[in-house]
Chains A and B, each alone.
Chain A
Amino acid sequence: MLLFRSEEAIDAWCKAATEPRGEAVSLETVWALSQAWYGDRISPGYRGRTLEEARRLFAKVGLTVPFWQR
């Protein structure tokens, strides 16, 4: 996942690099996602995450468009 200044920059990058165009997420939301996703990564009880758990976590930080539920 790469960092850009704008969605237009993402479009240009995807075109130039022939990358699939996915979803753009604000860095602020990525910070919320990071806290939910990685906050327990070095907890002794961490045992990974299922697809369903991941989808619930995405929804919790506001990532609700179909891309995040596929």
Chain B
Amino acid sequence: MTMSGGLSDQDWAIRLHIYGYFVARGRPPTSEEVASHFRLEEAEVRAAFHRLHDHHALFLDPGTDVIRMANPLSAVPTAYRVRVGDRGLWANCAWDSLGIPAMLDADARVEAILPTTGEAVNYAVEKGKLKADPFVVHFPLPFARWYDDLQHT
């Protein structure tokens, strides 16, 4: 077993499985489901979840073993709904709404709600090109501080 940044190859394999599951089903797997897939003890998988969380490779709901985010994917509804083919996925933020088609190398349609007005807007990625009004995205914090308070960003 090799280590990279404090994570083992098995940790990274679990992370990759989580992403595949999340994309396919629109929700992240539970620790029990991951344990079953890898034929591991659930406690071992829960420990891997927490290592991945500490490494910012995914994010758990505070004080739990439940996956809340695997960027750009969100396990809870947000103001950014991304449709890829017949799948509907939630993005964590405006950036992540484009992160999903980038990650999947796929066309996508985004339905978003503007924070100031509550206006529902749409934009899309088609054949690698963005089709959108001239929107702007606000990045409140520099990268070095993104993980100080992830909900904030």
Contacts and interface: CB of A to CB of B under 8 A. Distances in A.
Interface of A: 1-7, 9-10, 12-14, 19-28, 30-31, 33-35, 37-39, 41-42, 44, 46-48, 51, 54-55, 58, 67-68, 70
A58 B116 contact: no
B72 interface: yes
A4 B144 contact: no
B136 interface: yes
B140 A3 contact: no
B97 to A, nearest CB: 8
Chain B interface size band reads 35 or more
Given A34-B98, A70-B144, A3 B5 contact: no
A27 B138 contact: no
B47 interface: no
Nearest to B22: A42
Interface of B: 4-5, 7, 12, 16, 19-20, 23, 55-57, 71-72, 79-80, 93-105, 112, 114-116, 121, 123, 125, 130, 132-144, 153
A67 B50 CA distance: 31
A31 B12 CA distance: 26
Contacts of B102: 31, 34-35, 37-39
Contacts of A70: 142-144
Q: Max chain A CB contacts within 10 Å: which of B101, B104, B130, B153? A: B130
A12 to B, nearest CB: 6
A1 B93 contact: yes
A36 B132 CA distance: 19
Nearest to B100: A38
Given A2-B115, A12-B116, A27 B103 contact: no
B115 A37 contact: no
B98 A31 contact: yes
Contact of B153 (A1, A4, A47, A67): A1
Given A1-B153, A39-B103, A48-B56, A26 B134 contact: yes
